Amino acid sequence: MAPDQRRRIRVTGTVQGVGFRPFVWRLATGLALAGEVSNDTQGVLIEAEGPSDALDTFEARLRSDHPPLARVESVEAKPVAVTGLLGFSIVASRDLGGTTSPVSVDIATCADCLAEMADPDDRRYHYPFINCTNCGPRYTIIRSIPYDRASTTMSGFTMCDACRQEYEDPGDRRFHAEPVACPACGPVAILRSATDGATVATGPEAVAEAARRLVAGQILAVKGLGGYHLAVDANHEQAVSELRRRKARDHKPFAVMVPGLDQAHDLVQLSPQAADALVSPRRPIVLAPRRPGGVADPVAPGLSELGVMLAYTPLHYLLLEATGRPLVMTSGNLSDEPIAHIDDDAMARLGPMVHAVLTHDRPIHIRCDDSVVRLAPQSGETQLIRRSRGYAPEPILLTWAVARPLLAVGAELKNTVSVAAGRALTTSHHIGDLEHLAAFQSFRQAIDHLCHLAGVIPEVVAHDLHPEYVSTKFADDLDLPAIAVQHHHAHIASCLVDHFRDDRVLGIAFDGTGMGDDGTLWGGEFLVADLDGYERVGHLLPVTLPGGAAAIREPWRMAMQWSTRACSETEARRYGASVDERWEAVLDLIERATGPVTTSAGRLFDAVSALLGIRDRISYEAQAAIELEARAAGQALVPARPWENGAAVVATPGQPSVLDPSPLVARVIAERDRGTPVAEVSAAFHEAFGRATADLAADLAGKAGVGVVALSGGVFQNARLSAVVEANLKSAGLEVLVHCRVPPNDGGVSIGQAAVVGRLNA
């Protein structure tokens, strides 16, 4: 028999908090190997001793048989001196400093835990905080690494003997499940009065009473994994409307939570991919076509889609079981402020909005909103719209290594921040709109926490080109070299990172607005770009924003602007007089061309929405454009009689090509006046504008000698536009990159910034 060997094996990747050490223990003991396994800041460290063939098998199976939630990046072994010791053990975490191991994401309650929770003979029967190594809170309860109970918000709970036994038994599903708990030793559910915070009920009675109140039409704040939700019965029209009033949220859609796929099927139409996304342990909100009569209309007014998610904590399951109906579960905040996650703050901010608060005594360390996905119109693949709970802070692996460790601070709205070192790019949860002071505080906390968890000490900071963004000012105040990245270049770079690419592409970046390198507000851009740079080769026709930011809140102003361009001043007067008494002043602004100059595609969609009478003032970002798209639901992608006149392209040698959509706007006005149904006009406009966009992109790609087109920017959340552009580009023989892992909107900007600055040599 060959003499024994001993190997020190380093495993990196997402290997902490996912049941990796017990897996190693079972594997090693199964192969009769001796040694030990531990977590440290770099991942998992194993010493294994035994015959070389058994050690080879062991190494191979570390890669192939690991637990479902683990992600193994590398397994590296080197020989060390044989000890002759027997037995295999799991040793406590050690803090070695240096680079770090990614922290696991929060994971929805697993099937085993659900079964125990439903079993009256189980000691965790109906226990709202049941979890195991395969499920439960992670990112949101971790204060520091390495991941160990003492460094989580569970540190204040002392395990009872029964829990400790499970925790210490390598054969148990709860072996080293850090948040392990039971009714005897763990957190407890508490129902509080909204007026004075007094305890109304605790334990099972708290859940039962909360359910009774929801059924009666009350509004409750409910503490979840990454923050508080505001909850009401989704079938209770009056309660939903009252929630809108109290939350000061007029129209923005609410998400609905149900316990299982069957109930989701009742509310929305689900493709197999959408169903997969719903049941995934990441548990995002999935946007899907709404079924009539599913939930009360004010849940998502004017929209053809509904955001649905499945329960993801045991407390959610118990609450849904007790109410027996779908619940609106919307972020616990007023308007667009950050979601409340600290108990006192939640009581202060949400108390006035709700009838009662269903809370618990396990603190949330970091706030983390629900993630949102939809299914890409062409491929049917999942596409992240908001990348947060269940996804953050899982790193994205670059195909190359960044030149030096860096921080990227993102844009202004839908902010996220990213850090990168080596090949790992780690992005924070969704932080929100930085113009709110509370969001800015959250932004600073997220940066500190992310640097700590990812073990990155930034040597350079990437920021947007816009000098007035709060994130830009923050970056400039750091004692680090600060490098600006043009907003739309960042969008295209983020799409490349999304697809693990670094080649040169024709990027189409359509969004609201971002600062251009000529000082105007870009937003309808055609860039020949790679991670190292870009050239602006085309854009939408520049127009002024009459009244600046007011033109964003009031799409009728852009409608007047585009009617002037497309038809005549007379037409603009006629339209303006029909919608707002300030029309003359706005016309004056248009004529004198005062206001910031923009090439924004988002503003063009706003204008068309207003011209069709769909929405002339908005209460949430991109509302007019979203409702314009919703109106076309059910219409074919290519209309029976497509508009033969496209947008005009103005090409001047040496200058970027200009796409002038005026002929399309004129057609919109003509069709409207002819009485063509709005649904048909909307569909035809999407098709014609998408085709014109693809035609110009194909032409520009040909001139630049590139065969790939990347679509990015928030406007490409418009599924109809995205589908038309993609289909036309593909039929022109081009490869098309659409977003999947990285949001197309400004939530992806920090990722693009990180990639661009990561390429720069020190």
| CA atoms of 128 and 321, how far apart (whole Å) | 12
From the list 132-140, 183-191, 202-210, 746-754, the region that binds Fe ion by CB under 5 A is 746-754
Whichever of 290 and 387 has its CB closer to Fe ion, that residue is 387
| CA atoms of 345 and 339, how far apart (whole Å) | 10
Whichever of 177 and 234 has its CB closer to Zn ion, that residue is 177
CB of 470 to Fe ion, least distance (A): 16
The order of strands in the sheet holding 199-202 is 199-202, 189-193, 356-360, 220-223, 228-233, 327-331, 255-258, 305-310, 285-289, 372-375, 382-386
**Phi, psi at residue 298, to the nearest 5°?**
-65, 0
Whichever of 67 and 467 has its CB closer to Zn ion, that residue is 67
Q: Which does 184 bind (CB under 5 to 8 A by kind): Zn ion, Fe ion, none?
A: Zn ion
Contact 415, 431 (CB under 8 A): yes
Distance of CA 614 to the CA centre of its chain: 28
CB of 713 to Fe ion, least distance (A): 5
Q: Which does 511 bind (CB under 5 to 8 A by kind): Zn ion, Fe ion, none?
A: Fe ion
The answer, yes or no, to whether the previous bond of 458 is cis (omega within 30 of 0) is no
| CA atoms of 349 and 340, how far apart (whole Å) | 8
Indicate which single residue of 47, 343, 606, 746 sits in contact with Fe ion (rule: CB under 5 A).
746
From the list 179-187, 385-393, 394-402, 745-753, the region that binds Fe ion by CB under 5 A is 745-753
Q: Which does 348 bind (CB under 5 to 8 A by kind): Fe ion, Zn ion, none?
A: none
Q: Which does 274 bind (CB under 5 to 8 A by kind): Fe ion, Zn ion, none?
A: none
Contact 133, 19 (CB under 8 A): yes
Vertex 632 angle, CA 630 and 636, to 5°: 135
**Phi, psi at residue 650, to the nearest 5°?**
-105, 115
CB of 717 to Fe ion, least distance (A): 11
| CA atoms of 632 and 624, how far apart (whole Å) | 13
Which residues between 139 and 198 bind Zn ion (CB under 5 A)?
Answer: 160, 163, 182, 184-185
Whichever of 140 and 513 has its CB closer to Fe ion, that residue is 513
CB of 100 to Fe ion, least distance (A): 30
Which residues between 76 and 115 bind Zn ion (CB under 5 A)?
Answer: 110, 113
540 closest CA partner among 409, 385, 660: 660
Q: Is 525 in the site for Fe ion (CB under 5 A)?
A: no
CB of 539 to Fe ion, least distance (A): 14
Token pair belonging to 648: 């005009």
Q: Is 601 in the site for Zn ion (CB under 5 A)?
A: no
DSSP assignment of 346-381: HHHHHGGG-SEEEEESS--SS--PPPEEEE-TTT--
CB of 523 to Fe ion, least distance (A): 7
Token pair belonging to 379: 């491929």
Token pair belonging to 748: 């992806």
Whichever of 43 and 410 has its CB closer to Fe ion, that residue is 410
Question: What distance, in Å, lies between the first and last C-alpha atoms of the chain?
Answer: 54
Whichever of 167 and 732 has its CB closer to Zn ion, that residue is 167
Size of the site for Fe ion (CB under 5 A): 3
Whichever of 554 and 746 has its CB closer to Fe ion, that residue is 746
Q: What is the DSSP letter of 443?
A: H
Q: Is 433 in the site for Fe ion (CB under 5 A)?
A: no
| CA atoms of 286 and 269, how far apart (whole Å) | 11
Whichever of 28 and 108 has its CB closer to Zn ion, that residue is 108
**What x-and-dash track marks residues 693-722 binding Zn ion by CB under 5 A?**
------------------------------
Whichever of 98 and 519 has its CB closer to Fe ion, that residue is 519
| CA atoms of 586 and 558, how far apart (whole Å) | 10
CB of 645 to Fe ion, least distance (A): 30
Residue 530 half-sphere exposure toward CB, CA atoms < 13 A: 10
Indicate which single residue of 107, 132, 220, 749 sits in contact with Zn ion (rule: CB under 5 A).
132
Q: Is 511 in the site for Fe ion (CB under 5 A)?
A: yes
Q: Which does 746 bind (CB under 5 to 8 A by kind): Fe ion, Zn ion, none?
A: Fe ion
CB of 161 to Zn ion, least distance (A): 8
CB of 184 to Zn ion, least distance (A): 5
Residues lying near Fe ion in the complex (CB under 5 A): 511, 514, 746
Binding site for Zn ion (CB under 5 A): 110, 113, 132, 134-135, 160, 163, 182, 184-185
